[in-house]
Structure 1
Amino acid sequence: MANTAQARKRARQAVKQRAHNASLRSTLRTAIKKIIKAVEAGDKAAATAAYSENVSVIDRIADKNIIHKNKASRHKSRLNAAIKAMA
């Protein structure tokens, strides 16, 4: 347990920040799932639209250091490759 006032405050702030980060991570996962769902449906136009809509979400969360920028790039690359592979 935190012994000083400063440590107690940092513990309080950490709880609040963790909840915020968890919310952003959830938003990221939802964005990725939307694109995957569109790809699995087989509609290339819908998948492309979902991709262009949600790429900014992925980038924004990477900019906030919720995930690493390389991980964001990897997700975008794989999702884009899946869309291009559609017949």
Structure 2
Amino acid sequence: MPNKKSAAKALRVSERRRLENALHRGKMRSAIKRFRQALGEGNREAAEELLRKAVAQIDKAASKKAIHKRQADRRKSRLMKAYYRTFVLSA
């Protein structure tokens, strides 16, 4: 338990931020999972749409500072690479 007023506030703020970050990261992870599932099924149209949604969620998580901007860039790059390998190179 915090002993000072400022420590109590820091605890409240930290908990609020943790929940907010978890929300954004969870939405991002779900979008990525849906994209990877469409990729595995070989459904190009669905994968393309879900890729856009996943990238948007990743950007949102980065803009809210739930993840680092370089981590966001790396994740987007890997998703684009997976899409390209599955549908462009194999076609």
TM-score (norm 2): 0.85
Q: Post-superposition shift, 1:65?
A: 1.4
How far, CA to CA, are the matches of 1:80 and 1:68 in structure 2? 19
Of the structure 1 ranges 33-42 and 12-21, higher mean CA displacement relative to structure 2 is found in 12-21
Q: State the superposition RMSD in angstroms.
A: 1.2
Structure 1, unpaired ranges of 5+: none
Summarize deviations over 1:5-57 as a string: whole Å, max 9, x none.
12112112211221111111111111111111110111112111111122111
Runs (4+) off by over 4 Å: none
Q: Post-superposition shift, 1:59?
A: 0.5
TM-score (norm 1): 0.89
The amino acid across from 1:29 in the alignment is R
Partner of 1:74: 74
Q: Secondary structure at the match of 2:48?
A: helix
Structure 2, unpaired ranges of 5+: none
How far, CA to CA, are the matches of 1:28 and 1:64 in structure 2? 12
Q: How many residues align?
A: 87
How far, CA to CA, are the matches of 1:77 and 1:15 in structure 2? 31
1:1-87 aligned at under 5 Å gives the runs: 1-86=1-86, 87=90
